[in-house]
Chain A
Amino acid sequence: MRRTARGIAVLASAAIALAVAACGNDATEAPQKTDPAALSAELTWWDTSDPANEGPAYKQLIADFNKTYPNVKINYQSVPFGEAQNKFKTAAAAKSGAPDILRAEVAWVPEFASLGYLYNLDGSELLADESDFFATPMSSNKFDGKTYGVPQVTDSLALMYNKKIFADAGITEAPKTWADVKTAAATIKAKTKKDGLFINAGGYFLLPFIYGEGGDLVDAAGKKIVVNSEANVAGIKVAADLVKSGAAVKPPASDSYGTMMTLFKEQKVAMIINGPWEVNNVRNAPAFGGIENLGVAAVPAGSAKAGAPVGGHNYVLWSGMPQEKAAAAIAFVKFMSSAQSQAFLADKLGVLPTRQSAYQIDSVKNNAIIAAFQPVVASAVARPWIPEGGQFFGPLDTMATEVLIQGKDPKGSLDAVANKYKTEVVKDYAAS
């Protein structure tokens, strides 16, 4: 049964890939791709996804790609996500050893592009149907008016909850605001003796509280640091209050994220704020009770709105790749980011496609978890896509620890973050 399903999936994606390759989008490009077999190159791809959970699906896609392009050899290399950024920068700076194609986290792209490490893709086939990609994930590929990548997967934070605990506590609807969360947590504690919420003590996971009050980290257009604005202080206070009041578990300073996932998978805490990349992990957790027990809702709103940061990954091409390989690399990235490939990955891994057309494919349409995440992603807030974007999180993590764990005053901690941004991260921005 499973085998036939997989067979059909492989056949289907291969057939679609053939169809895509054969018909093409524009008549002008037709002569270039009359014969995919004529394309011959050897390409290295650094995949930064989890090698055990996600790697096999990507390898399968590569096999499908080779059915159309038999002479393009893809050297698949799994590079741990935590190491890839430094490894790539070291190799790119040394002009040797970097992969031709990299799966880069959204915040890396402007950084790499500003250093001249990436090919600018303007005018290539990859951007021919750019409007099909969601605007927010696409925006992470732009730097200085040029485009340097195509979105691979997108994600955002959502409220993930345990349906069984909700039912035991008599809660019928996912909380819509942080105030609702507090009430729900109290009910859960009273009726089931379990903890209501776990907030990971990391800067990224506090962004919904900041966006919820209409705040942001910096105003990139106005070149202004706004991280210690009143809206942000109010937002962080909400988070601090959830912990202080006992609605949320007090997170540990060491391995807060791992603790959150363990407690959630063992059904000891009812709600967490996390993204679709953990869906497979939760699905496979024996103590959780399967994917049917997982509820997904938009992050709760603050006084202004409900907002979560956009995350995800993009395909980028290393500028050190010889120009002769460009056609093959484009064909590969085009195949991997096609709606059909994205639908295949959504099916297998539960990750979210970045193309609007992928959501028209039946398997994606009928996937409950993806359907639940889709509005979350559609309303995700773009981060400031500047080369320093990744450096905003070190100081924010410190703030999260100080406020949530050590009980320090949010205003003072946010002022310290603003000061760090001014002295170390975006020195030419105005302090507020």
Chain B
Amino acid sequence: MSTATATPPARTSPPPPRDTRRPGRLRRSWDKHWYAWVMVAPVVIVLGVLIFYPLGRGILLSFTNLTEANQLAEICTKSITGSEVCKPNPSAWEVVGFDNYVDLLSGRVGEFWRQFGVTLLWTVSCVVFHYGIGLGLAVLLNRPLRGRGIYRVLLILPWAVPAFVSAFAWRFMFNEQFGVINTLFEAVGLDRAEWFADWRTALLTAVVTNIWVGVPFMMVTLLGGMQTIPSEQYEAAEIDGATPWQRFVNVTLPGLRPVSMTVLLLGTIWTFNMFPIIFLVTGGEPAGGTEILVTGAYRAAFEGIRNYSLASTYGVLILSILLVFSVLYRRALRKQGEVW
């Protein structure tokens, strides 16, 4: 009460001494850390322009029926003789609410559920093989052996080759008429396989390609992780009489956990959205059977008359799926006591 009565005169009087009225928290923070804000500003602006603006726009678009054909409110036709006629577009775009989502999820438009199933199968098989093979190779390389450097270089090679080059190389190897794999099959007395005639074998060709492309990353990361495990732990285990398998299960795997969890999450997200391998190796053949969600979105966006709204709907759904997955994954980790 007394402060309230004391305040009004204070306003007219000369500014109070500094220590009686300290500036606000934000102000203090700015005074002290202004350079930090200035430093982050470009990043915030770039993120805003490059990520949040398109993201927001994409979400808005998914509630419209915007396509390339109806984006203009009026279409003008110029004549080479000089005149110009403008007519209102009879089918200009409009807000359609959840129609796109209903169309897509009910299967009326596109093949969302088939693509979703293929995406899951593709992601799980790729990540399992990436991790398994990467771990195996890392274990092999994580001990003194002659020519280790050469092996490492050779094993990292697939990673150095641009993905599209690998994709074309593998597609050619799986070529039904001229590919080296069918030639090998014939040499050992097997029939030529029609790799791309069935979606399962077609998906297999893409999975094999992606494994080849992705294993080096897993291997290098896990190898790095292994080298951080203190050798004392292995010595102690050895003194306790642990077999190599026991050492692997009880020392190596727990020691790798922080690294593994991160690369598995990254690997899952990357593979889920791995566009070039599917697009270049199988091209969605046969008859769209190996299309995954991102290639489906691409076809909506860039084939024929571009359907921006449908592609956005795909994008929002893909993002939602990955968000849900990441949240669940984090929660599962936290439950296991992982600080993340």
B-binding residues in A (CB < 8 A): 86, 89, 93, 111, 113-116, 119-124, 126, 146, 250, 252-255, 259, 262-263, 317, 319, 323, 326, 330, 387-388, 390-391, 394, 397-399, 401-402, 405-406, 423-425
Contacts and interface: CB of A to CB of B under 8 A. Distances in A.
Contacts, number: 110
30 contacts: A113-B77, A116-B78, A119-B78, A120-B77, A122-B79, A123-B79, A123-B80, A124-B80, A252-B176, A252-B177, A252-B194, A252-B195, A253-B197, A253-B286, A254-B174, A254-B176, A254-B195, A254-B196, A254-B283, A259-B175, A319-B76, A319-B77, A330-B80, A388-B305, A391-B303, A391-B304, A398-B288, A401-B285, A405-B197, A405-B286
Nearest to B304: A391
B154 interface: no
A104 to B, nearest CB: 15
Nearest to B75: A116
Most chain B beta-carbon neighbours within 10 Å: one of A388, A402, A405: A405
Interface residues of B, number: 39
A402 B287 CA distance: 6
A255 B305 CA distance: 24
Given A252-B197, A319-B76, 15 more contacts: A89-B306, A93-B68, A114-B69, A122-B80, A123-B79, A123-B81, A253-B194, A253-B287, A254-B176, A254-B196, A254-B282, A254-B285, A387-B69, A405-B197, A423-B109
Identify whether the interface residues of B are mostly helix, strand, loop, or mixed: loop
A215 B36 CA distance: 71
Contacts of B114: none
Contacts of B299: 394
Contact of A263 (B108, B171, B177): B177
B82 interface: yes
Contacts of B288: 398
Interface in B269-301: 282-283, 285-288, 299
B79 A116 contact: no
A254 B171 contact: yes
Top 5 A-B pairs ranked by shortest CB distance? A253-B196, A391-B304, A254-B196, A253-B286, A252-B176
Contact of A326 (B68, B75, B80): B80
Nearest to B282: A254
Nearest to B89: A116
Contacts of B75: 114-116
Nearest to A401: B287
A199 to B, nearest CB: 15
Nearest to A318: B78
Interface string B59-77: 0000000001101100111
B218 interface: no
